[in-house]
């Protein structure tokens, strides 16, 4: 009996405490705060993404809202609003309390905030129009193309974070596999991978990429065991059309990728002219080494190039018949010579040997054709051969961004600048977040004296890839041609390595600071004579020193400087175009107007 009385006493105490909470409006305040806080969090999540705020802003607001809740509840319990202002609750006489009318006002406030929250949900879910970000501008994304897909980078769920190369590689291989289907429009790697690590919902990504479907997933690798999860999402409804988890060994990796591609085609109800493409199988160990080598190559540092070479050589030791690894190794050799890691002759010779092995193993490997075309253009100065290689590469993979970008350079190098611009603009439209194709397009705009467009496009390049290559240097050159040497100086002072010396030698000349111009040029010659002879030639041309310019052009020929491939669309040689030595020099390197007129290169852009 005593226990029962104690229990009922506690129950009455709890009931009295709850009644007191209601009387002091603590419950209403808590509800109002929760609704307002939830609405604030939703707004922050939306606005932060659209205004480009840091990712930590929404998280900070969530934490602040959670911390604020007990503070608000304590304040509501301890204080009461009276006609005379805020007072401590125990100091307010019961006859003077207006807590009841305050509670009714809170009820109306809660209802109002719930209406606002409902309105925001309806707008966010159904009213926000799709937009595609392209550099400075935003354009409405309008497409009735229901056979369009983006493959997002699969998430690395492996215990070792360094195995990210494998999850990225799986994603890219699936992308290439689907891209081989003409009836399917597949967004390029650079656009899809730009969302890596970003907390953006699937419908928004689909709107920005202008696709109807998204393929995403995860990869977990532990030893020889693999767990791959893939899911196909319909963007318009944000629903899963298909999802599957594969738990197998590394030996089954190619079969898994083929199955995923086939399932995607089946779900999208694509009517194929041919069978679903399948991945080129190799030894699983060689495949993992190849993916690692490719991943390192894309880091674009001299040390990474050497490590990439080692991994690819290890892959080829396991499987000497691996065409993709031979082709990637050839590209690594070219990258090494570009950073002075190999002599030009040695680098291009090794690159040719590796790429020819790739093509012998797989005559329809499009990138190998394009890479041999690049070698023919940059090293052999055999433009006719380069054209043949690129025409075949484009037949095999019409919209491959790497092939399109290099084909545009070939068009410019044979004097077809207008067509080069059109092809580069096509590349930008199809791969709007690829910094390299933006940079090429800006270069062509410069060659056409479209300086403002060049500067805008170079700025887009830097937004997509801060510190990209020579973009800042090229902006400085454009400003020089616009007659703004002081602004050019500010741009060149942000440039690194030997490009800074090149830029300063011209900017100081334009500013009339001859001593400083000579000093910068002398440093450039002392440090980079063999790998910058072509650049030194156009600096002398810009400074009006024709004899020195032709002297260094001869050195560029002697050193086999790849820059000579671009001489026709280099505006810095403009001062010597009327020199009687100009046309004979062009003829000596196979680039006179008459010689180029005999070269046919027909590029048909897809509809």
pLDDT beyond 60 at 126:
no
The full DSSP string for 482-542 is TT-HHHHHHHHTT--HHHHHHHHHHHHHHTT-HHHHHHHHHHHHHHHTTTSHHHHHHHHHH
In CATH terms, 141-279 corresponds, of 3.30.450.20, 3.40.50.300, 3.40.50.1820, 3.40.50.10070, to 3.40.50.10070
Q: How confident is the model at residue 489 (pLDDT cuts 50, 70, 90)?
A: very high
Fold equal for 141-279 and 282-396: no
Contact 401, 431 (CB under 8 A): yes
Give the pLDDT band of residue 142 (cuts 50, 70, 90): very low
Mean pLDDT, the chain, integer: 80
pLDDT tens figures, 235-272: 877 887 888 888 888 888 888 888 888 878 777 766 54
Tell me the per-residue pLDDT of 518-533, one tens digit each, with 9 for 90 and over: 999 999 999 999 889 9
CATH top class, domain 282-396: mainly alpha
Distance CA(181)–CA(174), nearest Å, equals 12
> Model confidence over 383-393: pLDDT tens digits?
999 999 999 99
Domain boundaries, the chain: 2-127, 141-279, 282-396
- Count CB neighbours of 399 within 10 A: 17
Give CB contacts under 8 A, 24+ apart, made by 486-492: 486/511
pLDDT in tens, 543-553: 999 999 999 99
Return the H-helix or E-strand segment holding 117.
helix 99-122
What confidence tens digit (pLDDT) does each residue in 350-362 have? Answer: 999 999 999 999 9
Contacts of 304 (CB under 8 A, 6+ apart): 296, 297
**Which pTM does this prediction carry?**
0.66
Query: Hey, how many other C-beta atoms are within 10 angstroms of the C-beta on 265?
Result: 20
pLDDT value of position 109? 63
Task: Indicate left, alpha or beta for 193 from its phi (over 0: left) and psi (-120 to 50: alpha).
Answer: alpha
Cα dihedral 43, 49, 53, 59 sign: positive
Check: CB of residue 319 under 8 Å from CB of residue 362: no
Q: Is the pLDDT of residue 411 over 80?
A: yes
What DSSP state is assigned to residue 161?
G
Distance CA 255, CA 257 (A): 6
* 3-state SS, residue 219: strand
Name the 3-class secondary structure at 182: coil
List Cβ<8 Å contacts ≥24 apart for 299-307.
Answer: 300/335, 302/336, 302/339, 302/340, 302/341, 305/332, 305/335, 305/336, 305/339, 305/341, 306/336, 306/341
Higher-scoring residue by pLDDT: 239, 363: 363
What count of other Cβ atoms lies within 10 Å of the Cβ of residue 421?
22
Where is 19: in which H helix or E strand? helix 2-23
Residue-wise pLDDT tens digits, 459-476: 998 888 787 768 999 999
């Amino acid at each position: 009996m005593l226990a029962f009385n104690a229990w009922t006493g506690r129950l009455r105490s709890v009931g009295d405490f709850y009644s007191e909470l209601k009387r002091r409006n603590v419950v209403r305040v808590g509800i109002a705060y929760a609704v307002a806080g939830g609405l604030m969090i939703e707004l922050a999540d939306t606005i932060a993404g659209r205004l480009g705020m840091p990712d930590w802003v929404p998280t900070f607001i969530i934490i602040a809202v959670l911390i604020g809740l007990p503070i608000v509840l304590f304040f509501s319990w301890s204080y009461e609003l009276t006609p005379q202002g805020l007072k401590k609750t125990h100091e307010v006489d019961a006859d003077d309390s207006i807590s009841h009318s305050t509670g009714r006002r809170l009820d109306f406030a809660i209802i109002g905030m719930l209406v606002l929250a409902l309105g925001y949900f309806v707008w966010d879910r159904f009213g926000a129009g799709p937009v595609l970000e392209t550099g400075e501008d935003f354009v409405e994304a309008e497409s009735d193309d229901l056979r369009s897909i983006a493959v997002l980078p699969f998430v690395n769920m492996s215990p070792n974070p360094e195995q990210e190369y494998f999850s990225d590689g799986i994603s890219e291989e699936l992308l290439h596999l689907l891209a081989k289907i003409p009836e399917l429009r597949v967004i390029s790697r650079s656009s899809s991978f730009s969302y890596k690590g970003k907390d953006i919902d699937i419908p928004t990504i689909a709107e920005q990429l202008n696709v109807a479907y998204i393929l995403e997933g995860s990869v977990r690798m532990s030893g020889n065991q693999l767990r791959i999860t893939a899911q196909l999402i319909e963007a318009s409804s944000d629903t899963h059309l298909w999802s599957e988890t594969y738990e197998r060994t590394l030996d089954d990796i190619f079969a898994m990728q083929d199955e995923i591609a086939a399932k995607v085609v089946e779900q999208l109800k694509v009517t194929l002219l041919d069978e679903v493409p399948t991945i080129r199988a190799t030894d699983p160990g060689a495949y993992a080494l190849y993916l690692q080598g490719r991943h390192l190559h894309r880091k674009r540092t001299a040390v990474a190039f050497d490590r990439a070479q080692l991994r690819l050589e290890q892959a080829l030791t396991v499987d000497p018949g691996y065409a993709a690894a031979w082709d990637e190794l050839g590209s690594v050799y070219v990258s090494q010579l570009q950073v002075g890691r190999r002599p030009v002759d040695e680098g291009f010779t090794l690159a040719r040997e590796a790429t020819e092995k790739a093509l012998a193993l797989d005559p329809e490997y499009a990138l190998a054709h394009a890479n041999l075309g690049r070698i023919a253009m940059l090293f052999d100065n055999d433009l006719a051969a380069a054209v043949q290689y690129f025409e075949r590469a484009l037949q095999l993979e019409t919209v491959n961004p790497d092939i399109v970008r290099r084909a545009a350079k070939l068009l410019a190098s044979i004097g077809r600048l207008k067509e080069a611009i059109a092809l580069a603009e096509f590349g930008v439209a199809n791969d709007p977040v690829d910094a390299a194709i933006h940079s090429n397009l800006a270069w062509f705009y410069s060659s056409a004296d479209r300086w403002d467009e060049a500067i805008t496009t170079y700025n887009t390049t830097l937004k997509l890839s801060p510190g990209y290559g020579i973009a800042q240097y090229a902006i400085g050159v454009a400003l020089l041609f616009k007659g703004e040497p002081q602004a050019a100086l500010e741009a060149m002072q942000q440039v690194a390595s030997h490009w800074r010396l090149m830029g300063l030698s011209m900017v100081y000349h334009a500013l009339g600071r001859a001593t400083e111009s000579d000093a910068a040029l002398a440093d450039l010659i002392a440090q980079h004579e063999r790998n910058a002879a072509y650049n030194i030639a156009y600096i002398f041309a810009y400074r009006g020193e024709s004899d020195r310019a032709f002297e260094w052009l001869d050195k560029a020929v002697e050193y086999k400087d790849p820059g000579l491939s671009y001489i026709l669309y280099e505006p810095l040689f403009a001062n010597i175009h009327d020199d009687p030595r100009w046309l004979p020099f062009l003829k000596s390197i196979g680039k006179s107007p008459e010689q180029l007129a005999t070269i046919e290169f027909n590029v048909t852009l897809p509809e």
